[in-house]
Each structure stands twice: as C-alpha cells, then as structure tokens.
A = this chain, B = another copy of it.
Amino acid sequence: MAETTVRTTPDALDAELLEATLDAALDAARAGDAARVEALLEPVHPADVADLLEQVSQDDREALLAMGSAVIDGDVLSEISDAIREEVLDALPDDVVAEALRDLDSDDLVDIVEDLEAEDQGRILGAMDAADRVAVEQALAWPEHSAGRLMQRELVVAPEHWTVGETIDFLRKADHLPDQFYHVILVDPRLMPVGYVTLGRVLSSGRDAKLRDISEESFRTVTASDEEADVAYIFNQYHLISCPVVDGAGRLVGVITIDDAMNVLDEEHEEDMLRLAGVGEESSISDGIWDTVKSRLPWLAISLVTANIGALVISQFEAVIARIVVLAALMPVVAAMGGNAATQSLTVAVRALATRDLTGANAWRVVRRELVVGLINGLCFAAVMGLAAWLLFGAPMVGSVIGLALIITLIVAALSGVLVPLLLNRLGFDPALSSGTFVITMTDVIGFFAFLGLASVMLI
C-alpha cells in the first residue's frame, strides 16, 4: 500500500483535465476497450463517473455500462441519480451488481434499494450478502424519509467507564470499522446512548483519562422514526458531524453522519425550489421526455383553470373594454406587477419557513411588514405608472385608475405571498405547494377585478 497512498487524482478544480479524461473514457467505451476505460477511470472519483453516466445520451450510457466493473463499482452505483438508477441496474449483469454492492455500508445499500420497483428490489436484495440483506430489510421496515432509512448500522460504541487506553486497544483490534466515523458513542449497560467523545479528544487525552470525563458537553440523539427533514435541520442548526439514532425504547440502533444529512438538505432545497415553480419534485435534468411532461402538466392544468377564472372576471367587463380599448393594453401591466410581487414575498416566506426563521413568534410581525412593503411599492409604482399613463394617453383618469389598481394589487400580492404559505404550513402541508402557479394567478384575478372595476366606476 505504501507506494500508492498519495494518489494524484485530478484536482477537483481542474475541470479541464477531468473533462478530457472522461471524454477519452467515453471514446474507449464506444470502441469497446474495457481495459483502457478502466485505466482512464481509475483515478476519477466515483461521483464524477456517475455524473458522466447521467449526462451522456442513452446510447453512450449503454456503451459505458457494457464495460461492467470497469465503470461500475459500489460507490458509482450509490452516486447515481434516481432518475437513471433503474435503467443502470437493468443493464448490468448480476455478478457486476453483486460485486459492486459488497463495498457499501448499510445506509448506501438502503439508498440504492428503497426507490426501486418491487421486482428490481428483489433482484438487488438477492445479490447482497446475507448479513447486508438483513440489515437492509430491517432499515426498510422504518417509514420512507425517516431517520431509520438514513442511518448506518455500523457503529463505534464504548461503555462510559472505559479509559482512552482501553478504547484505543479495542479499536486497534476491531475487525470491521465503519468507513468513516467521527465519534465514539458512549452507552450504558442497556445500550442507551449517554454521550459521545470526538476522536480528536480521544487522541489528545492521556491513556488513563475516562471517556465519560472527556465527552462532549452537548449531546443529541434522534429517533429512527423521525422525519429525515427534521434530522437535516438539526445537523445544520447545531453543526453536528454525526448523531446517534435510537429506537422507540431509547436503545442505540445506528448513526447518521453529516454527508447523509447534507444530502437530505440538498434534496429538501431542490424540492422547495421545484415545488414553488410548479414542477413535480422528482424532476431532474436527466429525466426523459415523458417524465418531464408528467412532472409539468398537472400544475399547468391548474394554472389553466385559474387563468380562466381571470378570463371570466375580464369578460364581465367587456362593455367597458369595448368603449376604452386602452384598458386591454394596461391589463398585463397589472398582472405582471402583481405576479412578480407575489413571487417575491412567496419565495421569502417559503424559504423562511423551511429554515424555521418564520415561526409563530414573528409571523404577525412579518405579515404586517409585508403589508407596509406592499403599500410602499404600490405607491411608488402607482405614481410612476399613473403619470406615464396620463402623459401617454392624455387621460388623467386612466392614470388614476391604473395607479389605484396597482396599489391594491401589490398589497394583495405581498399579503397572499406570505399568508398562503403560513396557512398551508399551519394545516400541515408543505408551504412550497403554494406555488407561483396558484398564488400568482389568484393575485392576477384580484388585480384584474380591481383595475376593470375601478375603470367601470371612474371612467364611464
């Protein structure tokens, strides 16, 4: 091992070298030269190999997968996005899959298996070692998106009366340690976790020091049935590196490490962003055409319905529009301003709810602030647009109508942008579901009504 320890991987920032290597590997795969593919990909990080598989066309992906274990190992398999994982697994022979799975810790195995269809799941479970299979099946017994699915079962535990010396001797003799671990978890005789010690403290304390005397001041556990989103919040809020997981009876059953939590946080962000935009949450750039259509059509359909409510409102004022056609030209100004202002306050509110910065304690203060901000913005744009309309159309009353309509619309936009997500949150729904599609189109409807209603009162 001595000679190869400091492997010169392509520097992560040197994107050019990495790209050239991946291009060469792809060419070699197209030519069917597995040995060259293996040599080229050897120094490449599995995450980059997975990205290559995601980004190439389906034909090229097939060519790469035909190289078998020259391209695929356990780490690559666990890095591959859900969008193409099923396709990749279907294309690989059983022995390649079995060999790849052998390297992985239980949490990565669960991650690979849990989203597969039943048939594929059976095949992959069958390819695992018996011990791994049992661990995965136990993890799958916890609900989806729970801490129990996220945790790894490989643990480093010690009784709290152990000394540093005993701990080091134990670790030196241990057969199988987890790939990564950052703490020694202290347990009582009933396997209840009572604290943990960072490896840095173990290393820097004398052999005689007792673990209980050097354990961390603050110590948290999560329950296996907790939502993974709550777990990610705790890691982020309290800067945890790892966190023990207990079952309903308080007994230690696993540990979650920060890389898994970071992953969940990333997915939560993505979900919020996509939901806000009215895109099915599972969307990715590697989706095929039909998956993409499926993820977008439902919200567009809702938008069609709400837009038609707007059309209905407008059609009530056809007589006014027929007499003053300039109103038709100004309607989109009201809609655009309302829609954009609603998006602004909606996005800030959804984000603040996700980071738990918007809570019962400050909700009413935030709502009041949105009201005032909406009023100020409304007054500003009412002045500018009202004046412009007056000068352009030589009709001061048209200027007044559009000005007043903008004030009303911007206040409604700011308020609904914060009230709708707050309400959804209170009712237990994801506030990001108050997506633009809904709040914005409703703001439009109110804006049209205000604008045309004022016009029919003030201009006729």
Contacts and interface: CB of A to CB of B under 8 A. Distances in A.
Given A5-B215, A314-B328, 8 more contacts: A47-B239, A174-B204, A181-B200, A278-B343, A299-B340, A304-B381, A318-B326, A339-B339
Given A259-B239, A284-B352, A321-B325, A346 B277 contact: yes
Contact of A336 (B205, B237, B444): B444
Interface residues of A, number: 148
B372 A289 contact: yes
Given A311-B333, A373-B292, A444-B332, A237 B47 contact: yes
A300 B378 CA distance: 10
Interface stretch (A114-122, A132-140, A218-226): A218-226
Max chain B Cβ within 10 angstroms of own Cβ: one of A51, A272, A372: A51
A279 interface: yes
Contact of A6 (B195, B204, B289, B346): B195
Max chain B Cβ within 10 angstroms of own Cβ: one of A336, A356, A369: A336
Contact of A333 (B48, B236, B307, B381): B307
A296 B373 contact: yes
A287 to B, nearest CB: 8
Interface string A310-330: 111011001001100111111
Contacts of A284: 348, 352, 357
B311 A172 contact: no
Indicate how many identical chains form the complex.
Answer: 2
5 nearest A-B pairs in the assembled complex, by CB-CB distance: A277-B347, A307-B336, A199-B199, A285-B352, A328-B328
A3 to B, nearest CB: 10
A416 interface: no
Interface of A: 1-2, 4-7, 9, 11-13, 45, 47-48, 51, 54-57, 81, 167-168, 171-172, 174, 177-178, 180-182, 194-195, 198-200, 202-206, 210, 212-223, 226, 230, 234-239, 241, 258-259, 262, 265-266, 269-270, 272-274, 276-279, 283-286, 288-289, 292-293, 296-297, 299-301, 303-304, 306-308, 310-312, 314-315, 318, 321-322, 325-333, 335-337, 339-341, 343-344, 346-349, 351-352, 356-359, 361-362, 365-366, 369, 372-373, 376-377, 380-381, 384-385, 388, 436-437, 440-441, 444, 448
A405 to B, nearest CB: 13
Contacts of A182: 182, 199-200, 241
A306 B292 CA distance: 29
6 contacts: A7-B217, A13-B222, A51-B357, A258-B262, A293-B376, A307-B332
Contact of A5 (B212, B349, B365): B212
B348 A336 contact: no
Contacts of A237: 12, 45, 47-48
A168 B172 CA distance: 14
Contacts of A177: 200, 204
